[in-house]
Amino acid sequence: MSFSVLDVVSFVCFFCCWVGYTTFARRKAKTTNCIARSLHQHRIHWMNELMTREIRVGEAALLANLERNITFFASTTMLVLAGVLTLFAQVERLEAVIATIPYAATPQYLLIQVKLALLTFIFVMAFFQFTWSMRQYGFLNVMVGAAPFDPSGCNENLKNYAKQMAIVQDQAAHSYNYGLRAYYFSMAVMCWFFHPVLFICASLFVVYTLYRREFKSKAVMAITAGMQALAIEKERVSKH
């Protein structure tokens, strides 16, 4: 069996959408207000504020909540992987089910295995990203525990320490984001089981959805406005 041209085109489109959007988002975040850029500024401010607090129970609770969300996705990914791997033993039944769906492309045994293998690869990648994010939050907890108390908030060395804590948290958040992005694109791959044209449309729709949410959503506007308000207040306090 040979893959159809449309199947090859749809897979290339999917690959370009995922890799292309990841590259685009990383570069655009350096010059444009978005969730990643704005939250990075919030994290720096948070870690600077943390240094001025002797009791950090609130920070510990917030970090534990973030880790809990990632742990949920990491464990869920393992369950999803188990389900996808189970389907390898049910390819013939899956082939028969797809054949009964109106307008679906004619299913082929080997092609279904390729699609399942792609899903497996995506969820393995997502698992690696989630677990790496968990580890980095663990590193951040160690840094928070080691952070000295600076009531004045004026020590330049400790300001740099706070910035490094924010960078570690930022990297953990990026890994979490990459894991979530894998889930988004896995939804597009599921459309390939029905028709390669639907796969192309779903890949483009995922890119559009991610772009709108990361760069143009109301949440981005609110987070950016909040950071600007904090910057103005910080400047006002420094003048006095």
pLDDT tens column, 52-62: 888 888 888 99
Give per-residue pLDDT as tens, 107-121: 888 899 999 999 999
Task: Report the b/e string of 33-52 with b at 16+ CB within 10 A.
Answer: bbbbbbbbbebbbbbbebbe
SS3 3: coil
**Distance of alpha carbon 56 from alpha carbon 58, whole angstroms:** 5
* pLDDT for residue 233 is more than 80: no
Task: Give the global pTM.
Answer: 0.90
**pLDDT tens digit sequence for 146-204:** 988 888 878 889 889 999 999 999 999 999 999 999 999 999 999 999 999 999 999 99
Residue 106, both tokens? 């004619």
Check pLDDT > 70 for residue 240.
no
- Res 100 pLDDT > 70: yes
Q: List the structure tokens of 79.
A: 């369950």
Residue carrying structure tokens 């299913």: 107
